[in-house]
């Protein structure tokens, strides 16, 4: 699928205002409602639009502390990586997990209420995950900014399998 300027406009609008009705979106991008609906469905089916979400306030929900944790495993065997990834995905405080190059094997982002809550998560959960040899934690002092909208290039060919 090759994205054109209308697709790019649709993606830009949806990233900024995800609750637009189809009629509102169509008006903003200069299409009829039915043509806009077809375009959005095609973008969803191609995997360009991954999912729709509401972005909640971490602080409003009592999760005001972000901790970045570098995780080093005791080995790099496939079964160890698979076991760790399966287990860490089940930890509700872990918001993101990345397999890394470099010194640490994984980088995870953890949301907690406070330092005592992180101590509990560290002691009772993270240190007991499969294969964990070492955890290195860094507390975020303050979020300077956060983006949810990614830049959409002027043209892009979307691979068949996204």
pLDDT at 125 over 60: yes
End-to-end CA distance of the chain: 11
Beta bridge partners of 69: 108, 137
Pairing of strands 94-99, 106-112: antiparallel
Residue 162 has pLDDT above 60, yes or no: no
Looking at the DSSP bridge assignments, the partners of residue 67 are 110, 139
Query: What's the pLDDT tens digit per position in 18-72?
Result: 999 999 999 999 999 999 999 999 999 999 999 999 999 999 999 999 999 999 9
Q: Mean of the pLDDT values across residues 9-23?
A: 94
Q: Which tens digits make up the pLDDT trace of 64-114?
A: 999 999 999 999 999 999 999 999 999 999 999 999 999 999 999 999 999
pTM of the complete model: 0.85
pLDDT for res 155: 67
Question: CA distances (Å), 109 to each of 51, 67, 90, 93, 126, in order?
Answer: 21, 6, 14, 8, 12
Fold of the domain spanning 2-54: Arc Repressor Mutant, subunit A (1.10.10)
Confidence check: pLDDT of 12 > 80? yes
Span 143-150, average pLDDT: 92
Q: Quickly count: other Cβ atoms within 10 Å of residue 12's Cβ.
A: 15
Domain ranges, ordered by start, for the chain: 2-54, 65-139
Report the percentage of the chain scoring pLDDT > 90: 86
Give the whole-number percent of the chain exceeding pLDDT 70: 97
The CATH architecture that domain 65-139 belongs to is: 2-Layer Sandwich (3.30)
pLDDT above 90 (res 1)? no
Q: What is the pLDDT of residue 141?
A: 95
Distance CA 111, CA 96 (A): 10
């Amino acid at each position: 699928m090759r994205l054109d300027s209308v697709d790019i406009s649709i993606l830009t609008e949806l990233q900024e205002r995800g609750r637009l009705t189809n009629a509102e979106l169509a008006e903003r991008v200069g299409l009829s409602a039915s043509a806009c609906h077809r375009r959005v469905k095609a973008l969803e089916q191609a995997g360009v639009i991954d999912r729709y979400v509401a972005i909640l306030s971490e602080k409003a929900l009592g999760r005001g502390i972000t901790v970045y944790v570098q995780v080093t495993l005791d080995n790099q065997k496939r079964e160890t990586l698979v076991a760790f990834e399966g287990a860490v995905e089940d930890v509700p405080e872990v918001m993101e997990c990345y397999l890394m190059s470099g010194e640490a094997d994984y980088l995870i982002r953890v949301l907690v209420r406070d330092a005592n809550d992180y101590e509990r998560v560290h002691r009772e959960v993270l240190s007991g995950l499969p294969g964990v040899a070492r955890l290195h934690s860094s507390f975020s002092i303050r979020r300077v900014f956060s983006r949810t909208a990614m830049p959409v290039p002027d043209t892009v060919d979307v691979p068949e399998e996204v």
